[in-house]
Each structure stands twice: as structure tokens, then as C-alpha cells.
Amino acid sequence: MQWSGRFLEELDIVLLDDYDRICFSFNCGLKGRASCLFTDGTRHEYEVHEGVGSMQYGPGRRGIYRQQGTLDNLTVFMRPDLFATWIADVDTELAQLPAGAAFCRHIAAEKCRRRHGR
């Protein structure tokens, strides 16, 4: 899924993760500011950064996405069982992702390419 948001004024969008999928998201073209505040009891707020991706899985997670300015985003969703099968031999910590909730890991694209030799 590709998404572009352009908001002159700060806008809050209510979030509810009701899609039982792992979300791989990559942000680019950020001109302004954006953040995501999870209100599911943990009160974690994450700043959205240019050129940074995240992996998230949090069925039932609620929150608020806040943005002012421009942001382009590319997101891919994957079934948890398929992800666990693919990643099991590579990274046992990530293979456990579908067993938990409210997990968020931010990875800079440059670091990811170095880590995997690309």
C-alpha cells in the first residue's frame, strides 16, 4: 500500500489495528513532522523519521497518528504464520514477533542494507 499525506495544519488520525498482519512500513519524503502515539496502556510515542522503516504487530492496538507537512509511505502487510516460517532460521527473536503484541522496531535503511549485505 502506498500512502501520501499532505497537511498544512497538524492533523490527528485515530488508529485501531484490526488487521491481523505484520506491518512493514518505510517512510520517505518527510517535510514537516509526524508521530504515532499508542494509547493501549503503554503510552509509547514514536517519532516518524525520514528514510526509516519499522516492523509492527499489535492486534487490537489503539493510538493516534499525528502529522503536519508532507510524508510519503510504502507499507507491506504479511500474515504472521507466513512471516514466522520465512524468518525462523534467520532471526529467532523476530520469529517470535507474532507471539507478542505492540512490538515496534525501527531500522534505518542504510543499516538494514549493511546488515544483510545489500
Domain boundaries, the chain: 2-115
> Which residue do the cell numbers 502529522 mark?
67
The pLDDT of residue 103: 43
Residue 116 scores a pLDDT above 50 = no
Instruction: With beta carbons less than 8 A apart as the criterion, state whether 40 and 92 touch.
Output: no
pLDDT tens string 43-57? 678 888 888 888 888
- Topology of the domain comprising 2-115: Jelly Rolls (2.60.120)
Taking the whole predicted model, whether its pTM rises above 0.75 is answered as no
Per-residue pLDDT of 74-115, as tens digits, reads 999 999 888 888 877 776 666 666 665 534 555 544 444 333
Which H or E run contains 107? strand 103-108
**pLDDT the model gives residue 32:** 95
DSSP 98: G
Question: Please, which residues bridge with residue 5 across strands?
Answer: 71
Angstrom distance (rounded) from CA 87 to CA 74: 21
Q: Which of 78, 98, 101 is nearest to 88 (CA)?
A: 98
